[in-house]
Amino acid sequence: MRKKGYSVIVNWNNEEECFVVQSKSRVGCVAKGKSLSAALQGMQTTRIREVRLTAGWQKS
């Protein structure tokens, strides 16, 4: 997904049952329905705080 020219890679992790979010050298793990900002809060980044993963996403 892309937000204001800043790319974020999101993949589903079956073992941990969460989305693995990677942005440059930063990596976070997001459970379904949680905001990306919450997952990356401890990673000291604010550039992608408005991107959200919404409840209802289904793993394939």
- Please write the tens of the pLDDT for every residue from 8-20: 666 766 766 676 7
pLDDT at 55: 46
- Compare 19 and 1 and report the one with higher pLDDT: 19
pTM: 0.31
The reply to whether 50 falls in a domain is no
Q: What residues does 30 pair with on adjacent strands? A: 19
Rounded distance between C-alpha atoms, residue 15 and residue 44, angstroms: 26
The reply to whether 55 falls in a domain is no
User: For the chain, how many structural domains are there in total?
Assistant: 1
The reply to whether 22 falls in a domain is yes
The reply to whether 28 falls in a domain is yes
Distance of CA 16 to the CA centre of its chain: 14
Instruction: Show the domain range for 24.
Output: 2-43
Token pair 């049952």 is at which residue? 17
Rounded distance between C-alpha atoms, residue 60 and residue 36, angstroms: 20
pLDDT in tens, 22-56: 666 666 666 666 666 665 554 544 444 444 454 44
pLDDT at 47: 47
The reply to whether 7 falls in a domain is yes
